[in-house]
Amino acid sequence: MYIDFGTVTPQQAYFTMTQTIIPRPIAWIVSENTNGSINLAPFSYFNAVSSNPPLVMISAGIKPGGVAKDTLNNIRQRKDFVLHIVSLEQLDAMNQSSANLPSGESEVEMLGLETVALEGSRLPRLADAKVAFACRLYDIHYIGSDPQALILGQVEGLYVDDSVVGKDDKGRTKILAERINPIGRLGANEYVTFGERLSRDRPK
């Protein structure tokens, strides 16, 4: 089967891409609403961009009705956010946080999630997070007619839970992926767990 993207609708392109660009990591973003409450939303159009400067990218579309997502508005106004890597234990709460709440309502409060202070950030992190990045807005690029916003965030600090920190066979500090137990996004309503870990030496 060959799909000519010049002949499909934007919705068809979205469904096709999300079912084939897999698995995708999930960024669970804390930002501050204009009323001071805490917004929490997941994004699977997300990845690292560079390490110098240390940048991450999330892609935010629009809500049903054609208005910008709260996360985009909050980051645009407040200039900062906290990015969590979602663990399997957080799957249900993460999924519930994707609900379309009225602007200004807090998903954290709705779900009864606990937050704690994050060093290097004025915003809190989720208390049960294994990984949380303190980020500052670096730039926003708008793409397409809808438009889609590519939000670039500069990492200013990183929290890693002690339970996922170990040593490699040379005694060096290593973040243990299996203890983070991250989930990935597939198409539609499907996710994937960490599964089997494989290793290959890079060619010299």
Can you give the pLDDT of all 204 residues of the chain as single tens digits? Answer: 999 999 999 899 999 999 999 999 999 999 999 999 999 999 999 999 999 999 999 999 877 677 889 999 999 999 999 999 999 999 999 999 999 999 999 999 999 999 999 999 999 999 999 999 999 999 999 998 878 999 999 999 999 999 999 998 899 999 999 999 999 999 999 999 998 888 899 998
DSSP state of 89: G
pTM: 0.94
pLDDT at 25: 97
Ramachandran quadrant class, 112 (left: phi over 0; alpha: psi -120 to 50; beta: rest):
left
For residue 56, what are the β-bridge partners? Answer: 48, 153
CA distance 5 to 39: 35
Measure the CA dihedral 32/92/57/13, to 10°: -120
Q: Are the CB atoms for 132 and 118 separated by under 8 Å?
A: yes
Domain ranges in the chain?
26-192
**In this predicted structure, what is the pLDDT of residue 108?**
98
**Closest alpha carbon to 125 in 133, 178, 14:** 133
Query: What pLDDT, on a 0 to 100 scale, did the predictor assign at position 62?
Result: 79
Q: Which positions ≥6 away from 148 have C-beta within 8 Å?
A: 59, 60, 61, 142
Tell me the backbone φ, ψ of residue 94, rounded to 5 degrees: -60, -45
pLDDT, position 63: 74
What pLDDT is stored for residue 66 in this prediction?
Answer: 73
Residue 179, pLDDT score: 96
CB 74 within 8 A of CB 32: yes
Strand boundaries in 13-96, DSSP class E: 24-25, 27-32, 38-43, 46-51, 54-60, 80-85
Q: Which residues pair with 150 in a beta bridge?
A: 59, 141
Predicted local distance difference test score (pLDDT) of residue 145: 82
Q: For 26-192, which CATH superfamily applies?
A: Electron Transport, Fmn-binding Protein; Chain A (2.30.110.10)
Residue from 113, 88, 67, 111 nearest 180 by CA: 88
